[in-house]
Chain A
Amino acid sequence: MVTNGVGLLEARQVWKSYVHRRRRLHVLRGIDFAIRTAEVACVIGPSGAGKSTLLRVMAGLERPDAGEVLLDGVPVVAGSPRLGVMFQSPLLLPWLRVWENVMFGARFLPSVETSREQALVVLERVRLHDLADQPVTQLSGGQAQRVALARALIRRPTFLLLDEPFNNLDMPTRRELGAAVRELALNDGVGVLLVTHDIDEALALGDRILVLAPEVGTFAREFAVPASAPARARLRDEILATLEALGTTAILT
């Protein structure tokens, strides 16, 4: 998987609200944010902060009320071949087998070869090639998430948008897939937006960490993740303090 080194997925003054039971809920209020290729940008924040909303808007799946999302300067369109999206739930199609679900990611792309072999290659990356011919109804939660990740990867995207991709995974698999995602950024130049509510995951995988403040609807802080372990431990405390100042100690660690 090789992508060209330059690229920018950029949110400019993005506002997004929902009407729920006749009340307007403002989720994002003027977000400015960009992901570059070859980096992992982590967005953390408590439940309901608007992380998934931000991801859907960045993917072009929801129109912002105001502002715009640009992919290399052009308004982003849903289903762009340069994007791979993984949602908070796996959203596998139960009438398709594992490899067919993976294939579904490239099904509507003219440029990518769609064969079982191709799906197997990607399944290998998420350590699931043994289950290629299984129906997805029998998968565990973690296995299903890995299929969903493979479905995003088979598109060979320039930007990978991942919504809490490692929930439900056991610790070893979590590490393994986390390393695989980092590798995608470092070796293949993919730009990754990683949404999580796990500080340690963000510290382990991110180049940058952005804290989305609930109700405020913008990023409270942005941190660059240092390389050294002690510096990271200090950053961890700083992020926790930031969250506490926002009144959201509920975030997990």
Chain B
Amino acid sequence: MQPELSIPTSYALPQRSATRRVSRWAHGSVPLASVVVLLGAWWAVTAQPWFGPRAVLSSFTPQATFPVFVQLLSQGVLIEQGWISIRRVLLALALASIVGVTLGLALGSSRLAERTVAPALHVVRTVSPLSWMPLVIMLLGIGDLAVIFLIAIAAVWPVLFSTLGGLHQLDREWVMMARSVGAKRHQILFHVAIPAVLPQIVNGMRVAVGLAWVVLVPAEMLGVTSGLGYWLLNTRDRLAYSELMAVILAIGLIGLALDTAIRALALLLPGARR
């Protein structure tokens, strides 16, 4: 039984030990370079005859995509559909956070509960969230609710296990100190345990945002008629490949924005700067 969540390093919060100079450099010129690399690779794959007939690939090229992207943006389609998707992800994240933190705290405060429940949860966690699709549709029907629920299933685990892992690392002596000033169990929970594990909770939520955004696209292929995932299917069926690429571009950009936003949010939290 290994309750700690191993967090992919790419998801880890920015290391504060890194010198300011290096981080400024990384935020300045490196992203620019990586944009150039990305565009170059995109162009090399689609605009050159190495990977397939030019006629087919031509609508996938950056030069074909960007005008369509701008057009979809100005028509409001991307913003409209993007907002629908973002809203679903945020609702799913809220659900996953409430359930994950509550369950994590509950399991972490009782050794018996953890011993009996946590191993089962580890089994459930390994099942791909998309495997629940048929079940979720059967229970909730096709629609927003099913999509949100599926995303939440994917997002709940990192929140739950990082909350639990945080409680494991909780300094027992803090608990003793709190008892010495007369704190009761629930007061220790609210005044010591929760603030102490807040950085881990936030870290778990960061991982959850990434997962949620990844699961969003397949979840929106579930019969709903809106959102970026649906739009992707729609463009494919209409053979509008430049639009398809524009939607993919939008998905990537919004994902990046969400990650940046939660990074910034994490730094605002009182516990995050420790």
Q: Which of B71-79, B88-96, B161-169, B175-183 is near enough to bind chain A?
A: B175-183
Q: How many A-B residue pairs have CB under 8 A?
A: 57
- Nearest opposing residue in chain A for B271, CB measure: A95
> Are A91 and B173 in contact, CB atoms less than 8 angstroms apart?
yes
CA separation between A87 and B271, bound complex, in Å? 24
A79 at the interface (CB under 8 A from B): yes
Binding site for A on B (CB under 8 A): 171, 173-174, 176-177, 179-184, 187, 191-192, 195-196, 198, 270-271, 274
> Are B180 and A61 in contact, CB atoms less than 8 angstroms apart?
yes
CA separation between A59 and B176, bound complex, in Å? 11
Q: Which residues of A contact B173 (CB under 8 A)?
A: 87, 89, 91
CA separation between A56 and B183, bound complex, in Å? 16
8 Å CB contact of B191 from A59, A94, A107: A107
Using an 8 Å CB-CB cutoff, how does the interface string of A109-121 with B read, 1 for contact, 0 for none? 1000000000000
Q: Give the size of the chain A interface in residues (CB under 8 angstroms).
A: 24
> Are A83 and B271 in contact, CB atoms less than 8 angstroms apart?
no
8 Å CB contact of A81 from B174, B179, B182, B183: B182
CA separation between A81 and B183, bound complex, in Å? 11
Q: Which residues of A contact B181 (CB under 8 A)?
A: 79, 85, 104-109, 151, 155
> Are B274 and A137 in contact, CB atoms less than 8 angstroms apart?
yes
CA separation between A104 and B212, bound complex, in Å? 39
A186 at the interface (CB under 8 A from B): no
> Are B180 and A109 in contact, CB atoms less than 8 angstroms apart?
no
> Are A59 and B174 in contact, CB atoms less than 8 angstroms apart?
no
Q: Which residues of A contact B174 (CB under 8 A)?
A: 91, 93
Given A95-B195, A95-B271, A95-B274, A108:B177 Cβ within 8 A: no
A80 at the interface (CB under 8 A from B): yes
A78 at the interface (CB under 8 A from B): yes
What is the minimal beta-carbon distance from B3 to any residue of chain A, in angstroms? 23
What is the minimal beta-carbon distance from B166 to any residue of chain A, in angstroms? 13
Q: Which residues of B contact A61 (CB under 8 A)?
A: 176, 179-180
List the 10 shortest-distance A-B pairs measured between CB atoms, nearest first: A79-B182, A108-B182, A91-B177, A85-B180, A78-B179, A95-B195, A108-B183, A95-B271, A105-B181, A95-B270
